[in-house]
Chain A
Amino acid sequence: MLRLLRAGYWRDLLTLILVTTLLGSMVAGGVALVADKYFAGTVSGLVGEYGEYDVIVHVREDAAAAVRQEIRDLVEEQLDGAHVKQGITVAGKANYFVAIPERHKTQAQFERLNDLFTALSGYAGLTFITEPSVVVNNVHNAVRQTLLGELQSIDGVRFVFRDGANLVAVLEDPERAETVYQAAKQLSEQYRILEARFPFQYELDDPEQAARTVEQAMQQVWGEHAVRDVTVAGSDGEMGSFVTALQEMKRFLTGYASRAEITLNTSGSVIVNDLVTLTAIPGTGDAARPASVAVRITGVNAQKAVGYVERGEVDALLDTQVTVRDATGRTVGRGSVTNERLELVRAIDAGLELLDQLSVLSVEAGDAVGSAEETLKTFQAALVQLETVQEQVRQINEELTARSSADPGQVLLSVLLSGLVKRMTPEQDVDDLKEIDIPGMQAGLRDMASRLDAMSRIDMAVVKQEMLQVRDNLPRLTDTQIGDSLRLIERYLAGQVVPGDQIQLLLNPEVDQDQSQKLMKSVLGRSDISVFVSPAAVVTPNARATLFSVLGEVRRTIAGLTALALTLLALLLDHAVLFSSLQLQQREKGADNRLLRRLRPGNCLWAMAMGSILLIGVYTGSGARIPGLAQYHVLLLGGGLGWLIYALARRISPVDAEEWVAGVALGLNPAQVMREIVVPANRPGLLLFLNRARQVFH
């Protein structure tokens, strides 16, 4: 190699390397640039240039035509200076790109946009694409406000606004994106949510109490401020309500369905969720129609099981004993069917009857009260008369006593009379009678009368009407319909977390993740639940920034790959023949010479160096960067390529040994041999092209 270089071939080689590197860089860079332009053009055609628009307003496709003017008017009126462009329609949604003028770029304005555009017909939401920005996604309710403040204080952040559960930090300068992104990431990573979920069928009895217990247990370990119960803050409003409503509906429907109570022959023969068949026992009830219903078991306790009728009509089975068979048709027990709904109807019917009787009763009672009053008056009069008689008897008796010795008949009469008086009106009885509160009784009777009077004046017909209405308006659902609905609800609720059936704790950085999980499980005493820690906020590289940086990466990667390809090409077309010549030179001289043997790795090293130089040159020159490839990787890769081509050189570019030797024998130096004999016979390439200038014989 050295002899070749010394013979003046270094000039040829240097030119070749420089031209290859320059041209390679240009080609690789150019290819990458073209690819980049193509992709970026496609992208910006879809979503505008980076930072050009701030928000995409989605509108239902059918309303798009109407909205075109509406949105312009709205923007003119509310966001004076904003620019609107209609984008493409995707998946039934028309998209309008809105560029918000600088002076309107504030937190308040951005947070107001959703409300603002709601006025548009067919409005279907908006997507913020404002740039430069850093987006923090899925920020937990409990930290949203705190984080907003913290983000705002990051250097380079212009303002932060809320977009649903996201926080968007709008930056002053795209150059700051990376540092702000890192800062935001660091901030968000401080907050983690430790969460336990108790899905359907694993509910807690008192989740709030449980949450408090866990919170306290953790605070004891990590301190007062390290843990905060944020369960309520975390529950998702609308969805939670819906789940609750469904839950209630289920409860109502279950109560409303016909229920079966079953006594099992052997305990454990049915389990919850089994479907059993209830059939009327022949001989009891209506034997002519052995009706049957399907019952879904909802609870089993030893030999007692309960369930609701899922299919079939129960009328014929009510108030009778029924046989219970399981799915295989085996008799497993006996039971009875009740139906709250029918019982309610019956109750109302009874009430109506009572109402009729009540109106009659009130009249009768009024009469009775009237006669009672009469009786009382008579009694009072009688009482006065009784007192008079008593007085008279007493006077006669006194008179008789005064004349006692005179006539024995008078004496006898007197004795008799006094006895009579005593028996008729013993002192006490009369007093008792006197003590009866006649006027009070009269007042009571009068009060009663007036009430009865008011009662008789109530419009019983209206009341009856109302009750009939209630009776008729009771949901007219068959058991089959109820059963179907219940199954539907249950399928929906299965796995759904009912609000309040989860516990969320906000953890500070000092709280150990694994330990806190273990602690939670042990405090709750439940191993059947899943406990996990998730970030309270996730900073994602902004999609568009990512897209553009990905595009840049694609460009650099394409450049890198092109550089690789070009280097390989250059090695194949130009350098292989050189390597091949070097090897030939060795062979011709006699491979066994010690000195030459030592030079052999020299040639190989030269080839590797050449590969490295070319690759690193073209790679760097074209601005290439393949992800995961460091500069020294590229060097090694180039060296590897060089080595590979060196190893295959004889096969890639065989050099005619006879011609070579002839040239040497004629006194040509190695450089001359290369220029006049070897290179011109080689395949076309840059070397061949450059060689033309130096070659004497054409």
Chain B
Amino acid sequence: MLQVYDLYKQYRGVPALQGATLAVEPGETVVLMGPSGCGKSTLIRCINRLTEPDAGEIWFNGEAVRAMSATRLQEYRRQVGFVFQHFNLIARLTVLQNVMLGLVMAGRDKEAAEKAAYQALKRVGIHPHLHDRLPAALSGGQRQRVGIARALAAKPSLMLWDEPTAALDPILVQEVLDVMEELATSAKAGMLIVTHELAFAMRVADRLLIMDEGRIVEEGAPRQVFTAPSSAVGQRYQRLWESRYLDVHHSIRGRQAHQRQQTGVTKSVVHLGEGVGATGCLASQGNTASAS
């Protein structure tokens, strides 16, 4: 569905992308990880041309995205939902209006738009009594869920997530991750998720990509990447994974402990820790999916 070939981008001579290549198949959930500043946001923004790449190709359903006309680009963007790290809600519009905005601007009549918005909001668990609030009157988690609903409302075939939980209070992270996980497993849309949530990635990702210095350096099933990395960065992730989720002593720490309590990841972690194999990973996935 989406193919990105050899994408290059530099900011004032400083390279951000240096030949990034990836693909997302319909319904597939791809998680993109990488150290800060490695070019993840740049890459994901290039996909719907919020940022213009310098070179490379982007194909969407066989169409060259970079060659699209302005109007075609708009249509394309409606098919590609984008969830921002900082939610990027329109401050002056209500929750409902925020979700309706894209639909109405696309020419949908208001009633249909409102209906779709209702559904999207319902899906992310935003209660109708919040619909007329302004974003400022919502909690961070609620805001990001509105952000997700907004991306979702147009029923996109591809969703791009740029660290959707990174700006959230740790307590609120899980409510968003839950929504994401539900979408990733049930929605037909292909997903490209940039996140630092290792456990989430392990559970949700069909494929895990690790990026370093503007290119993809690891690609594979999450378990495979975390156990047998081929790059230096991959190995760092492996160590991180092991220290957090395999070492019992380390795992008693605050945030992780809290997460485990809340989500029941503990079980899969323990399971992983015992088995370290494809089965463990699959079991984890199944576990989480059934839990949601």
**Residue in A596, A662, A667, A681 whose beta carbon sits within 8 Å of that of B88 in the complex:** A662
Contact in complex: B102, A591 (CB < 8 Å): no
Q: Hey, which chain A residues are within 8 Å of B165, CB to CB?
A: none
Closest 4 CB pairs of A and B: A666-B102, A662-B88, A667-B78, A667-B77
The segment out of A13-21, A37-45, A653-661 that lies at the interface is A653-661
A591 to B51, CA, bound (A): 10
Binding site for A on B (CB under 8 A): 9-13, 48, 50-52, 54, 70-71, 74-78, 80, 82, 84, 86-93, 97, 100-102, 104-106, 150, 154
Contact in complex: B74, A667 (CB < 8 Å): yes
Q: Hey, which chain A residues are within 8 Å of B105, CB to CB?
A: 666-669, 672, 676, 696
Contact in complex: B93, A697 (CB < 8 Å): yes
Q: Hey, which chain A residues are within 8 Å of B91, CB to CB?
A: 656, 659, 681
A663 to B82, CA, bound (A): 10
Q: Hey, which chain B residues are within 8 Å of A3, CB to CB?
A: 70
**In angstroms, how far is the closest chain B Cβ from the Cβ of A468?**
118
A656 to B150, CA, bound (A): 18
Contact in complex: B9, A663 (CB < 8 Å): no
Q: Hey, which chain B residues are within 8 Å of A659, CB to CB?
A: 88-91
Contact in complex: B84, A662 (CB < 8 Å): yes
**In angstroms, how far is the closest chain A Cβ from the Cβ of B252?**
38
**In angstroms, how far is the closest chain A Cβ from the Cβ of B91?**
7
**In angstroms, how far is the closest chain B Cβ from the Cβ of A234?**
81
Q: Hey, which chain A residues are within 8 Å of B80, CB to CB?
A: 665
A593 to B86, CA, bound (A): 26
A3 to B54, CA, bound (A): 19
Task: Determine whether A677 belongs to the interface, using a CB cutoff of 8 Å to chain B.
Answer: yes
Which B-chain residue is minimally distant from A658 (CB atoms)?
B88
Contact in complex: B70, A668 (CB < 8 Å): no
Contact in complex: B92, A680 (CB < 8 Å): yes
- How many residues on the A side are at the interface (Cβ–Cβ under 8 A)? 29
**Residue in A588, A666, A672 whose beta carbon sits within 8 Å of that of B78 in the complex:** A666
Contact in complex: A592, B92 (CB < 8 Å): no
- Of A596, A681, A697, which is in contact with the most chain B CB atoms at under 10 Å from its CB? A697
Task: Determine whether A476 belongs to the interface, using a CB cutoff of 8 Å to chain B.
Answer: no
Binding site for B on A (CB under 8 A): 3, 6-7, 588-593, 596, 656, 658-659, 661-669, 672, 676-677, 680-681, 696-697
Which A-chain residue is minimally distant from B46 (CB atoms)?
A590
**In angstroms, how far is the closest chain A Cβ from the Cβ of B43?**
12
State the majority secondary structure of interface residues on A. Answer: helix
Q: List 12 A-B contacts (CB under 8 A).
A: A590-B11, A592-B10, A656-B91, A658-B87, A662-B90, A663-B101, A666-B78, A666-B154, A667-B75, A667-B76, A680-B92, A696-B104
Contact in complex: B92, A667 (CB < 8 Å): no
Contact in complex: A592, B86 (CB < 8 Å): no
Contact in complex: A592, B11 (CB < 8 Å): yes
Knowing A590-B11, A592-B54, A659-B88, say if A697 contacts B82 (CB, 8 Å): no
A6 to B86, CA, bound (A): 30
Q: Hey, which chain A residues are within 8 Å of B10, CB to CB?
A: 592
A666 to B74, CA, bound (A): 8
Which B-chain residue is minimally distant from A673 (CB atoms)?
B105
Beyond A666-B78, A667-B78, A668-B105, 8 additional contacts (C-beta under 8 Å) are A588-B50, A589-B51, A593-B52, A665-B82, A665-B88, A669-B71, A669-B74, A697-B104
Contact in complex: B101, A666 (CB < 8 Å): yes
Q: Hey, which chain B residues are within 8 Å of A591, CB to CB?
A: 11-12
**In angstroms, how far is the closest chain A Cβ from the Cβ of B101?**
6
Contact in complex: B89, A662 (CB < 8 Å): yes
Q: Hey, which chain A residues are within 8 Å of B92, CB to CB?
A: 680-681
A663 to B50, CA, bound (A): 10
**In angstroms, how far is the closest chain B Cβ from the Cβ of A529?**
78
**In angstroms, how far is the closest chain A Cβ from the Cβ of B176?**
17
Q: Hey, which chain B residues are within 8 Å of A667, CB to CB?
A: 74-78, 102, 105-106, 154
Contact in complex: A592, B13 (CB < 8 Å): yes
**Residue in B54, B77, B88 whose beta carbon sits within 8 Å of that of A593 in the complex:** B54
**In angstroms, how far is the closest chain A Cβ from the Cβ of B63?**
15
**Residue in A589, A666, A680, A697 whose beta carbon sits within 8 Å of that of B77 in the complex:** A666
Contact in complex: A665, B101 (CB < 8 Å): no
- Of A7, A593, A681, which is in contact with the most chain B CB atoms at under 10 Å from its CB? A593
Q: Hey, which chain A residues are within 8 Å of B11, CB to CB?
A: 590-592
Q: Hey, which chain A residues are within 8 Å of B12, CB to CB?
A: 591-592
Which B-chain residue is minimally distant from A672 (CB atoms)?
B105
A663 to B92, CA, bound (A): 13
Q: Hey, which chain A residues are within 8 Å of B88, CB to CB?
A: 658-659, 661-662, 665
A656 to B93, CA, bound (A): 14
A658 to B45, CA, bound (A): 13
